[in-house]
Amino acid sequence: MNTKLFLCLLAFLSIAEISTAQIQIDWLDITEDQSGEDIKLYASNRGHCPVTVSMGFKKLLNLKADAELPILKVIPNDGEEHLIVTLSVISSKRDSEYIFDFQYAIGNTINTVHDEDYAYTLPFQKGKESVIGQGYHGKFSHHNIYALDFDLIEGTEVLAARGGVVIATKEDSNSGCKNPKCKSLANYVLIYHDDGTFGSYVHLKENGAAVKAGDKVKAGQLIGYSGNTGWSSGPHLHFEVYIPEMNRRKSVKTKFRIGNDKVDYLEEKKTYTSK
Ligand SMILES: [Zn+2]
């Protein structure tokens, strides 16, 4: 018989400008099977994208793990139980005990590769234009990250730059400031792409998410309304694509379709019109 183990299911999603945001997911279960001579630990994921689990042990008494520790394993979101580790009893004459040490990240941290050739769609309506107020490695808040700030007046329709599945949204904040202490006040939509990367759309206005977790969206589809929440120096949309890593992320450059069959990276201070 399998026993469900208690877990503190808080994933620390580290997205630029919302790095203190915590997303509570109830997708992941760890179960223990002690029906045989060995102890088997399984993970199952009922969520909207894979989850990577890292498991080590704070205590392993009279037990031997069948893999090198910590074990890193991607759990697909199929709801099935996936074996993480088997602990075999060393001596049946002694007591056994274990305490595991567990972390996880939303996404596949082992082998996600960004499709560099994907041409992203400008995230606002056709006919509108926007200045890149801050570009890659910008001085205000993009130190060492590939993120783009599209200057947009509050309430502008934000469109998905690429299709995928909505993983999380936040829209309950109505405030922000120019100081990093306001990071956790940012509203956002987070989308999982088919190459395993994530697209984050940050600083949306209060009640400014037009989608919810689990929704499938296409490129160009309305996902929310821009705002000025969180750590922000003025109304804009922060857009960033990243490869998930355990406890952090790796942002990547993204090419955009900018009209007349032209596909290119966007540059700070330049104006782009959606065609
Ligand atoms: Zn930004």
Task: Say which CATH number the domain at 233 has.
Answer: 2.70.70.10
pLDDT, tens only, 65-92: 999 999 999 999 999 999 999 999 999 8
Domain membership flag for residue 112? no
Residue that is written with structure tokens 């041409």 in the block? 119
Q: How many domains does the chain have?
A: 2
Tokens encoding 85: 């580790």
Rounded to the nearest angstrom, the distance between the alpha carbon of 6 and the centre of ligand 1 is: 37
Domain that holds residue 94: 2-106
pLDDT value of residue 115: 96
What tokens appear for 168 in the block? 């999380």
**Contacts of residue 36, Cβ cutoff 8 Å, sequence gap at least 6:** none
150 CA to middle of ligand 1, Å? 8
pLDDT score for 209:
98
Strands (E), 107-219: 119-121, 129-134, 147-151, 157-159, 164-170, 176-177, 187-192, 198-204, 216-217
Identify the pLDDT of residue 190: 95
Indicate if 50 and 162 belong to the same structural domain. no
Residue identified by tokens 């960004």 is 114
Boundary (domain end) residue, out of 51, 84, 106: 106
CA of 228 to the centre of ligand 1 (A): 11
Dihedrals φ, ψ of 184, to 5°?
-70, -5
Residue 133 alpha carbon to ligand 1 centre in Å = 9
What is the per-residue pLDDT for 4?
Answer: 59
Task: Compute the distance from residue 132 Cα to the ligand 1 centre, in Å.
Answer: 10
Which residue positions in the chain have pLDDT lower than 50? 1, 7-22
Please report, for the domain that includes residue 21, its CATH number. 2.60.40
Distance 151 CA to ligand 1 centre (A): 10
Residue 227 CA to residue 172 CA, distance in Å, equals 12
